[in-house]
Every structure is written in C-alpha cells, then in structure tokens.
Amino acid sequence: MSRRLGIFGGTFDPPHLGHLILAAEAQAQLGLEQVLFVLTPQPPHKLDKRISALQDRLDLLNAAIRGQSIFELSTVEIERPGPHYTVDTLAQLAGLYPQHEFVYLIGGDSLEHLPSWHRPIDFLAACAALGVMLRPGAQPDLAALEAALPGISAKLELVDAPLLEISSSQIRQRVRAGGHFRFYLPGAVYELILQRGLYK
C-alpha cells in the first residue's frame, strides 16, 4: 500500500513557527506519514535575492525540527548542482522513496503562479496531490488553473490552518532593527541566531 509523504520546500531563512504549524496541520489533515522539509540552496526565482549562508540555514532547520518524528530534513537539492527545479527534485525523491506518493505543500499565492513553473505539467504528474494552504477568504482562479494545467482541480487538497502573519523576511528585519523576534521562532532557532549573530 502506497504511503503519503508531504514535501515542503523553501529557503527557510529562518524557519519559524508558522512553517512548523502549517506543516503539522498538513500532516494531520492530509494523512501524511511525514513532512519532508526540502532546503533549497538558491531558488531559480530568487536569484537576485540575498540569502543567508547554506550551512547556517541547514543548522537552523535542523534545530527547528529536531526530535519531531513527523518531520524530516531532506538535503537532495543541496547534493546536486543547480538550478533546483521542483520537478527534478520530485524525480530524485521518487528514487529515494519508491513506496511513497508525494503531496506537495504549497501556499495559495504560489498556486496561482504554478503555470509559470519549470515543466509544470510534469511537476503536477509527479504529485499525488497538492496540499494547498490558503489565506482566509482567498479563492484561487480554478478555471484559469485548469485551463493551463488540466486535471489540477482533482489534485487540490485544502489545509485548514490558522493564519499567522509571520514571514522570514519580517523576522530578518526585526533582528536588523533590534526589535523583538523571540516568540516567532522555536527556542533552539532563536538561540542559534543569537549565538551566530545572524541577520544583523
């Protein structure tokens, strides 16, 4: 019997409580065996953005999910040269987890842009489902998505999660400005940021 594995990709710069709550809600609501956090070294759509050192982000993510059996860290994108397209990552993961089917976790904003992704039809074919986390009141344009990617509607599974207005960029700005940021983060992540003087 096939098992469902959640795939949650990102730069996680830094990983915060919003990431963990969304991943935990997806795991519970969508019947996922685990959620695999796939750390992206440099997303193709963020080539012009400054991203923290890979080792720091790797250590922060490890600290965030350590001891949580429903979460696992994947370094598949770190172990191969870029550009790191999601469709290629899923192909690689299929070789590592042949008994699993993949539920790719995606925000409503990213869902709207899915037709512009690299080989989106192949990406969709590689997913058993898309776990979509929508902002309250948001409604994707399913007709437009279906026209661009036939069959996508049948693969959408909504995750009902609390809206947390937390973003990694907001946390970085707070650190730089000397503001409060402690309670947006797991304790181990907060301590590591302080120890290394990150985001100053």
Residue 1 confidence (pLDDT) above 60: no
**Averaged pLDDT for residues 17-40:** 96
Identify the three-state secondary structure at position 15: coil
Residue 50 confidence (pLDDT) above 70: yes
**Averaged pLDDT for residues 52-77:** 97
- Work out the mean pLDDT of the chain and round it to a whole number: 92
pLDDT at 42: 81
Share of the chain above pLDDT 70, in %: 95
Regarding predicted confidence, which is higher, 138 or 178?
A: 178
**Averaged pLDDT for residues 111-137:** 92
Condensed to tens digits (0 to 9), the pLDDT of residues 157-173 reads: 999 887 677 899 999 99
**Averaged pLDDT for residues 21-46:** 90
Identify the three-state secondary structure at position 74: strand
Homologous superfamily of the 3-196 domain (CATH): HUPs (3.40.50.620)
User: For residue 50, what is the DSSP state?
Assistant: -
- Is pTM beyond 0.85? Reply is yes
134: confidence class by pLDDT, cuts 50, 70, 90: confident
Domain coordinates in residue numbering, the chain: 3-196
Lowest mean pLDDT among 5-9, 14-18, 46-50: 46-50
Peptide bond into 15 cis (omega under 30): no
Report residue 136 CA to chain centroid gap.
19
Lowest mean pLDDT among 69-73, 108-112, 114-118, 142-146: 108-112
pLDDT at 47: 58
